[in-house]
A = this chain, B = another copy of it.
Amino acid sequence: MTKPQDQKKENSRKRETEKRRNFLLETAVTAFMEKGYHQTGIRDIAKRAGVSLGNLYNHFRSKEAVLIEIARLEADELSGFEGILTSAASPIDRLQKFARSYLAYNCKSENVLLAIEITSEAIRNPNIAKIYSNNRDKMISTLADCLKEASAENEIASVRIPLVSAHFILTLIEAEGQRICFDNRSATPQDTDYIWEMLYYGIGGRDLRFPSSEN
């Protein structure tokens, strides 16, 4: 039986190492963003974090393992958006709220640059591909369900291929986010309105309710 104070000490140690691990991950993210994954050396990360080369390998099995961990964290963030798409609101309101928040997310340079690194690595690295596509596929199908509901309730015209339309919505928002990000600004109400307008008509909406542009 371990005494309480022993537990505490042990836990504090574990917390410390976890903290450092997370810090290393954050540092790696910064490096990957600035230089790109393949252009970043393990030594870059270690030096940035003020940590020895060997110690980094105590925390991560390989360079790929670092990216895998990052990809997992990034992919997990997507699940937050599924909550929006499955709330109690009307389908079209859910869609609109989703569009707004997903656009905001995709304007932040850290998300944009990281997503580019991860997805372009995923093209040739199946280990990365799986992590990322799992969560993304789930989001696409949730979005597709929302589209089906919307057309079932006659809020939009019938969506012929919901999965493709869902893919199209994601792509459009992400691309718009990239554009805004590379313009070095954040999303304005006009951006949000405009993308919603195109989305709404693109998926078969017929009488546009102009968004209220509230937060």
Contact = CB atoms under 8 A, between A and B. Distances in A.
Contacts of A204: 201
A85 to B, nearest CB: 19
Contact of A38 (B39, B160, B164): B39
Contacts of A179: 164, 167
Contact of A198 (B38, B194, B203): B203
Number of copies of this protein chain within its complex: 2
A179 to B, nearest CB: 6
A25 B158 CA distance: 48
Contacts of A161: 194
A127 to B, nearest CB: 15
Given A116-B123, A172-B175, A175-B175, 13 more contacts: A35-B124, A36-B38, A36-B123, A113-B123, A160-B194, A164-B194, A167-B179, A168-B172, A168-B198, A171-B171, A171-B172, A171-B175, A171-B176
Interface of A: 35-36, 38-39, 113, 116, 120, 123-124, 160-161, 164-165, 167-168, 171-172, 175-176, 179, 194, 197-199, 201-204
